[in-house]
Amino acid sequence: MNPRVILFCALAMTNAEVLAQYHAVSAKLGMLGLGLEYTYSFTDRWSVRGGPYGSTYSVDQSAAGIDYEVELNWDSVSLALDFHPTTGAFRITAGVLQNNNGALAQSTATQDVTLGGVTYTPAQVGTLRADINFEEDASFVSLGWDWSRNRRFGIALDFGLLNQGVPLISLSANGTLTGDPAFEADLAAEEAELRDALSDVDIFPFVTLGVVFRF
């Protein structure tokens, strides 16, 4: 075979391998839910990535002295800038999140309930419903490793902190005293107590693990 043809094929394969490092897709699992990300590496040290996260699951949680059934809804879109200081797997990340994360907490009274320091019967309270939301724009930072660099497949692991602000909480009830001014005042006091109990989730630690494919 002509040496020039061999040289051309070798260069083409080399260039294809280099170009393969520019793009990547990854499937993620972590404390922000299930995710799908696209990454573009525009230098050996810098890359940009983003994608949607989402999932739902239920937990039992006690807050402000009341037991709730909580349905967590993870729904967000991330955009992040990665810096690889040594051009290796280790990366430092800063990004923003379009944050539609939230939760619905419900508690159906089966015994007397204390709201705002006043005790009410189950019939008077009915079902307590707390809608919990966060600021729509949230920022995050993380440290991680992307072991797919310089190969087709690999694993990515990140540890970070998400600043999503103080939770926005709306507490309501459907018992026989719904609409009563005194009851509504005690319900508002309970809402404030619940907000205070959840105030420490404004800075939310997270971990994500992903499988990465480069092309």
Per-residue pLDDT tens over the stretch 58-89? 988 887 678 899 999 999 999 999 999 999 99
State the pLDDT at residue 154. 95
Q: Is the pLDDT reported for residue 198 higher than 90?
A: no
State the pLDDT at residue 21. 64
pLDDT in tens, 179-197: 999 999 999 998 998 888 8
pLDDT in tens, 38-59: 999 999 999 999 999 999 989 8
In contact, 176 and 123? CB cutoff 8 Å = yes
* pTM (two decimals): 0.79
pLDDT in tens, 124-157: 999 999 999 999 999 999 999 999 988 899 999 9
What is d(CA 189, CA 139) in angstroms, rounded to the nearest whole number?
A: 30
Cβ-Cβ contacts under 8 Å for 160 (sequence gap 6 or more): 93, 140, 141, 142, 143, 144, 205, 206, 207, 208
Residue type, 1: M
State the pLDDT at residue 116. 87
Cβ-Cβ contacts under 8 Å for 138 (sequence gap 6 or more): 76, 96, 97, 99, 162, 163, 164, 165
Model confidence at 166, pLDDT cuts 50, 70, 90, reads confident
Q: Percentage of the chain with pLDDT > 90?
A: 72
Average pLDDT, the chain: 88
Mean pLDDT along residues 1-10:
38
State the pLDDT at residue 4. 40
7-16, 24-33, 154-163, 198-207: least confidently modelled range: 7-16
CATH number of 20-214: 2.40.160.170
Model confidence at 10, pLDDT cuts 50, 70, 90, reads very low
State the pLDDT at residue 45. 94
What is d(CA 92, CA 76) in angstroms, rounded to the nearest whole number?
A: 21
